[in-house]
Amino acid sequence: MNSAIKVHKLIKIYRTYQKEAGFWGAIKGLAHRRYKETAAANEVSFTVQEGELVGFLGPNGAGKTTVLKMLSGLLYPTRGEASVLGYIPWHRQNDFKRQFALILGQKNQLWWDLPASESLELNRVIYGLDASAAQKTIDELTELLDVRDKLDVMVRELSLGERMKMELIAALLHRPRVLFLDEPTIGLDVVSQKKVREFLREYTSRNRITTLLTSHYMQDIEELCERVIIIDHGRVFFDGALQDIIDRLATHKILTLSRRKGLPQADFAAYGEVLEKSPTEVRLKIARPRIIPASRDLIATLDVDDFTVEDVPIEDIIREVFTEQRNEAGYF
């Protein structure tokens, strides 16, 4: 399988002026300036195969968006190498720009005061697309995203979910081979998030589009990505299967017990960590090796009406990964 994206020791350093407080601090700054260097990307290396959909995870300020902007040619790196479809992104060759799309969840490319159809027509002309071929793509995408009846509505009058769907259509109009998605579902309601996820799963798989996806919604990652790259403080510290993280760090399960007549007094803490407790329900975090005997004992002792056993939420597992990494690096 061919590598669509190759990144080798990519570095991006931002240099910011450190001004001393007060008037004399400003005067001193005229003669001698102090600067602080921050590595937004620090020797980042990874490869993404053609047609692969990879989750790119990290807390705010980790360097995710910086890396995506370098790979799309919006930023020049300080040092390092990268290629996307064989092109060096920051050379910004026209042939390269026709083969990728970047979607920033908090940035709009559609014209606010025009119907979405006119923005799509503008994109068609910019990319030099055949009118009939472009219309065929629009018909296909509006059908998949269920927004055909919104094409002639002013963009400012669309809901946030409808607007994001139109942004996706605009980005995919020229049928890119590589897709960079930065928080594509941010701010959307649950129904719109689900619709966008279903669309991305079907469309990228059917067309073998290489996709790098960042999101703070772990459900996006869990439903779309088998592989994840985790970055923090500009460094990649995990690159592998999402299931590997879950298997390695999901050391506990959540046991929920409920009894309509009310739970009797019991030493729940003896079984595990008490996450929540009410007169009729209790949620316990119990180590995996103890979950079966603890469940058997509690169910028999308390005569419960209902119980569930579930995995620890994946976002908690990822949060634990970040905490461990920062502690090891001495950030705290």
Residue 161 has pLDDT above 90, yes or no: no
What's the rounded mean pLDDT across residues 28-56?
85
Task: State how far the Cα of 76 lies from the Cα of 55, in Å rounded to an integer.
Answer: 23
Cα 65 from chain centroid? 10
What local confidence, expressed as pLDDT, does residue 67 receive? Answer: 92
Average pLDDT score, the chain: 86
Give the H or E element holding residue 127. helix 116-127
Q: Is the pLDDT of residue 273 over 70?
A: yes
- Tokens found for residue 296: 């058997």
DSSP H/E element including 82? strand 79-84
pLDDT (tens digit, 9 = 90+) per residue, 194-233? 888 888 999 999 999 999 998 877 788 888 998 999 888 8
The answer to whether 185 touches 105, Cβ cutoff 8 Å, is yes
Answer whether residue 52 shows pLDDT above 80.
yes
Nearest Cα residue to 185 out of 150, 153, 147, 223:
223
Alpha carbons 184 and 161: distance in angstroms, whole number: 10
In this model, does residue 24 exceed pLDDT 90?
Answer: no
144-150, long-range: CB < 8 A, 24+ apart? 144/199, 144/202, 144/203, 145/169, 145/195, 145/196, 145/199, 146/195, 150/116
pLDDT of 332 above 60: no
Contacts of 97 (CB under 8 A, 6+ apart): 73
> pTM for the full model?
0.77
Give the pLDDT confidence of 224-268 residue by residue, as tens digits. Answer: 998 999 888 888 888 989 888 777 777 888 999 898 888 888 888
Strand-pairing partners, residue 306, are 258
Provide the token pair at 157: 């009058």
Q: Which domains does the chain have, with CATH numbers?
A: 3-246 (3.40.50.300), 251-311 (3.30.70)
**Residue 298 confidence (pLDDT) above 80:** yes
Answer whether residue 12 shows pLDDT above 80. Answer: yes
For residue 184, give the DSSP letter: T
Q: Are strands 227-232 and 273-277 parallel, antiparallel or unpaired?
A: unpaired
Q: How many CB atoms lie within 10 A of CB 328?
A: 9
- For 311-315, what is the mean pLDDT? 73
- Give the whole-number percent of the chain exceeding pLDDT 70: 93
The tens digit of pLDDT for each residue in 103-126 reads 886 677 888 888 999 999 998 998
Rounded (10°) angle between helices 190-207 and 131-145: 130
User: What's the CA gap between 62 and 322, in Å, rounded?
Assistant: 10
Residue 304 binned pLDDT confidence (cut-offs 50, 70, 90) = confident
- What is the spatial distance between Cα 230 and Cα 317, in angstroms, rounded to a whole number? 12
Q: Which one, of 173, 230, 219, 174, lies nearest residue 196 by Cα?
A: 219
Which has more pLDDT, 280 or 58? 280
**Per-residue confidence at 68, pLDDT binned at 50, 70, 90?**
very high
CA distance 168 to 166: 5
pLDDT band at 132 (very low <50, low <70, confident <90, very high): very high
